[in-house]
Amino acid sequence: MPQVGCRRPETVLSGNGSSHSSRRRGRGNRQAISFVRKPLLVCSGGANAFACGDIEGAFAVFAEDILWHVSGRGPLSRDYRGHAEVLEFFQHFMELSHGTFRIQVDDILAKGDRVVVLCTESAQRGRRSWSSPQVHVWAVKDARANVFWQY
């Protein structure tokens, strides 16, 4: 399974499913590669930056008006709009986890302007550990992630 670490984003592009359509041979291949790889590079680059602790690098791939949905009924579950609110979410989340939050990217799938990241999130709080499979769905427009859903 690929894991996002401190690597160049293009080394993360080893997912299954639709992301393999970027490897098709034949006429129109360059257009297919461009169509699929751009959203993949945007999202994998953001995930890689976050995994490396580079919050500024992660925000570089977010649209200024990004809409960040956190589903559920927890204290952080709501919609966040724009860089300031998303940064506030990250800061609150890291405070709750005492800086232990980690994300392991298991697979990245893409079709058109949508990217699906299958991942495992984990954190610790005191003596309690938490780990959960997650699905992150991204919408990419103009080479920037403009909508994020977390399930």
The rounded distance, in Å, linking the Cα atoms of 151 and 115 is 14
| Residue 37: per-residue pLDDT | 60
pLDDT digits (tens, 9 = 90+) for 13-46: 333 333 433 344 444 444 433 444 678 888 888 8
Which among 48, 61, 38, 50 has a CA at the least distance from the CA of 9? 48
- 3 within a domain of the structure (yes/no): no
Total structural domains within the chain: 1
User: Is 2 contained in some domain?
Assistant: no
**Dihedral (CA of 141, 114, 46, 36) sign:** negative
Amino acid occupying residue 65: D
* CATH classification at residue 25: 3.10.450.50
Residue stretches of the chain with pLDDT short of 50: 1-5, 8-36
Of 84, 138, 132, 130, nearest to 110 by C-alpha is 138
Residue range of the domain that includes 62: 9-150
pLDDT of residue 51: 74
0.85 surpassed by pTM: no
Nearest CA-CA partner of 104 in 72, 136, 145, 148: 136
User: Computed from CA positions of residues 23, 111, 34, 30, in that sequence, does the dihedral angle turn out positive or negative?
Assistant: positive
Instruction: Please give the pLDDT value at position 52.
Output: 78
CB-based burial, 73-83: b 16+ in 10 Å, e otherwise: eeeeeeebeee
